[in-house]
Amino acid sequence: MEDKLIIGGHEFNSRFILGSGKFSLELVNAVIKHGGAEIVTLALRRANKGGKENILDYIPKGVTLLPNTSGARTAEEAVRIARLSRELGCGDFVKVEVVHDSKYLFPDNYETIKATEILAKEGFIVMPYMFPDLNAARDLVNAGAASVMPLGAPIGSNKGLATKDFIKILVDEIDVPIIVDAGIGRPSQACEAMEMGADAVMANTAVATAGDVATMAKAFKLAIEAGRLAYLSKPGRVLPFTGEASSPLTGFLAD
C-alpha cells in the first residue's frame, strides 16, 4: 500500500521528522540513518558557511532540509531568518517559529500567521509551529501554510501529548498535514499521536537525551510506522463498561 506524506507538493516515505538542534554534529548522520528521517530541521546558526563546523556537511544527500526560524521574536525577524536560509542554499522549506515567551516557550500564533503569509507569497513551503488552536490553524492555512505543527507539550519537556484533545480537533478539521511537534518524549507517545490521525511527528529532545540516541531514533521510526498502520486499519470500537467474549460461548461442546 502506497502511503506518502505530501507537504507542499513534495512526497516523503518517512513520517518521522528529526529536529537536530540538540545533537552533536558527529551524531546527526547516525541518527538520520537509524531513524529513517527524510526531513531534518536545522537552525541557521548551525549552517554558517565558512565556519569550522557546518551541519550541512553531516546531513546525507537526499535529505530535505527544514531550516527553522528559532530565536525569532516577531514576524519580521522570522521572515529575515527564512530569507537568509534560502540565500545559504537551504531550499524553500521553512519551519516558522516565533517565540517571545521565555518561560514556557509557547509560540506566538498571531506573529506566526503574519510571517506565514509573507513567506508563502514568496514561494516558501511554510510549516509553522503553533499552539493548537483551531481558529489559528485555519488562519495559517488561509495564509498559505503547507502544514501546521501543533505542540504536544512545552518544547523540550518530554511530557508527551498534553494537548491531545486540541490536536485531535485539528486532525478532524484541518486539511493540510498535522505534524505534532515539541514535547513528545517517548516512542509510545509518538505512536499515540499517529494512531489518532496525525500525519507525522517531529522529535528532537527525546532522541538527543536518550542513553543510546541511534537506537532511540530507530524506536521512534518503528513507533511512528506502527501508529500510522493502526490509524489506517481503523481500530475497533471501545466498550465503555461491559465485556464481550472474544470466543463463542455456545456450541463449543457439541459433537
- Residues marked active site are found at 95
Distances (CA, A) of 121 to 79, 114, 124, 176, 179: 11, 11, 7, 17, 22
- Give yes or no for a contact between 152 and 163, defined as CB atoms under 8 angstroms apart: yes
Q: Got the DSSP string for 93-160?
A: EEEE-----TTT----HHHHHHHHHHHHHTT-EEEEEE---HHHHHHHHHHT-S-BEEBSSSTT----
